Chains A and B, each alone.
Chain A
Amino acid sequence: DQQVKQNSPSLSVQEGRISILNCDYTNSMFDYFLWYKKYPAEGPTFLISISSIKDKNEDGRFTVFLNKSAKHLSLHIVPSQPGDSAVYFCAASPRRGSQGNLIFGKGTKLSVKP
């Protein structure tokens, strides 16, 4: 049973427009959420995170929104650039006191077209 779900396996966006990647989770014990970006044959690179006490975190072109009641988070990239083309993984971590292991979604492949 998947605890972290990324229901869109792929997304195609025009350069300069907004990319919105979605993620849903089922476990209310999760309190820390992260987005990672992954290129082929490389490990995931940390992008941005959000704690459950917040509903928004922004870092440059990247903003993560968290809706705890809906158990939903999203990553907004604006403006999108061709270099953003990669697979984006949503991940969640249980409450403090755990060892911090991450539960990953299956990823969404983003293609930004020039």
Chain B
Amino acid sequence: GAVVSQHPSWVICKSGTSVKIECRSLDFQATTMFWYRQFPKQSLMLMATSNEGSKATYEQGVEKDKFLINHASLTLSTLTVTSAHPEDSSFYICSARDRGLGSNQPQHFGDGTRLSIL
């Protein structure tokens, strides 16, 4: 089945640090990848849609200069949380769809990154 790898799985760092999270589709190509954030006891909230070779599309209320997204290839998207602060502490999850399967097919998720800012 489709596998999405996300790295790192856990990050603890000081306030002001920038943190990069990688999302890779291991056995398929993904024109589009998605970045979600989940706070405790809440649903997954879409932050942005990452498009290979073009700029990401951010959801309302998500600062694009704060959350930098790069989708340089069909198998890799990165999310960089710049100058992270404690309020950025959350569970970040990426997902991807196989571009070869057309529309109306499921997204496959990575295992998420637990980000804790001290």
Tell whether, in the assembled complex, residue B93 and residue A43 are in contact, meaning their CB atoms are under 8 Å apart: yes
In the complex where A49-B106, A51-B104 touch, is A42 in contact with B111 (Cβ < 8 A)?
Answer: yes
Closest CB in chain B relative to A111 CB, distance in Å:
16
Instruction: State whether the Cβ of B108 lies closer than 8 Å to any Cβ in chain A.
Output: yes
B89 contact set on A, CB distance < 8 A: none
Size of A's binding interface in residues, CB under 8 A: 27
Tell whether, in the assembled complex, residue B43 and residue A46 are in contact, meaning their CB atoms are under 8 Å apart: no
A31 contact set on B, CB distance < 8 A: 104
A42 contact set on B, CB distance < 8 A: 111-112
Size of B's binding interface in residues, CB under 8 A: 28
B93 contact set on A, CB distance < 8 A: 43-44
A51 contact set on B, CB distance < 8 A: 104
Instruction: State whether the Cβ of A106 lies closer than 8 Å to any Cβ in chain B.
Output: yes
Tell whether, in the assembled complex, residue B4 and residue A43 are in contact, meaning their CB atoms are under 8 Å apart: yes
B97 contact set on A, CB distance < 8 A: 100
In chain B, what residue has the closest Cβ to A97? B103
CA–CA, A46 and B109, complex, Å: 8
B49 contact set on A, CB distance < 8 A: 99, 101
A49 contact set on B, CB distance < 8 A: 104, 106
Tell whether, in the assembled complex, residue B46 and residue A103 are in contact, meaning their CB atoms are under 8 Å apart: yes
Tell whether, in the assembled complex, residue B34 and residue A102 are in contact, meaning their CB atoms are under 8 Å apart: yes
Lowest 9 A-B CB distances belong to which pairs? A43-B109, A46-B106, A104-B43, A106-B43, A104-B44, A43-B111, A44-B109, A32-B104, A43-B112
Interface residues of B (CB under 8 A from A): 4, 6, 9, 32, 34, 36, 41-46, 49, 51, 57, 93, 95, 97, 103-104, 106-112, 114
